[in-house]
Amino acid sequence: MRKLKLQVQMTIDGFVAGPNGELDWMWLPGERDEKIFTDVIDLADSCDIILLGRKMTREFVDYWENVVDNQPDSPEQALAQRMVNMRKIAFSRTQTAISGRNLEVENGDLVEAITALKKQAGKDIMVYGGAGFLSSLIEHDLIDEYYIFRNPVAIGSGLSIFKAQKSLKLESTTTYKDGKMLHKYLPV
C-alpha cells in the first residue's frame, strides 16, 4: 500500500507560515545548501501524486509552471519539472475545477478519497500543504511519514499544522550547512 508523505518547511518555533501565510522566512540571505534541493528531488521521485489544499494550489501551480516556462536557467528547474509534470490533486469543498497542468480537483470525503488513493498501485503520495489542509490530514491520522525541514528562524506567530497533541517517533535527521535540518518522523 502507498504511503502518504508530508513534506513541509517549519520555523524553529513551529510555524509553517506567517499569520497571513507569509513564507519570506524560508530563504533568508546567506549560504544556501544545494543538498536540500537534491533531497527534495529524491523525496519527490519516491512519489507519483502530489496532494494540495485548495488555498495553496494556485500559488503552488503558478510558481512551478512559471519556473518551467520562463526560467530555463533556474537552479530549481529540475524540481520544477517534477512539480509540473506530476499528477496533482487539489482538495476543495468550494471549487470543482482549478486550472493547471496535470491538476484535478477532489470534492469528496477527505478520508475516503485518500484511503482509496493509498490502495491504488503506484509510488507513494506527497502532500505539501497548506496549513489547514495538513491539519485535517494530521487530525485524521492519514500521514504515514513526516518530513519536516526546520529552518533556523523564529517568527513569533503564524500558522501551525498541529492543533492537538501528536506523538511522533524520530526516524532520522539530516543537517545542512545553512543551518536547516530535515527531520523524518513516523507516527507512534
Confidence of residue 175 (pLDDT cuts 50, 70, 90): very high
Confidence check: pLDDT of 29 > 80 = no
Confidence check: pLDDT of 31 > 90 = no
Q: What is the pLDDT of residue 83?
A: 97
Q: What is the pLDDT of residue 33?
A: 83
pTM of the model: 0.94
Q: How many folded domains does the chain comprise?
A: 1
Domain extent for 165: 4-187
d(CA 173, CA 114): 27
Nearest to 146 by CA among 2, 16, 7: 7
CATH of the domain at 59: 3.40.430.10
Quote the mean pLDDT of the chain. Answer: 95
Angle (CA) 158 162 164, round 5°: 125
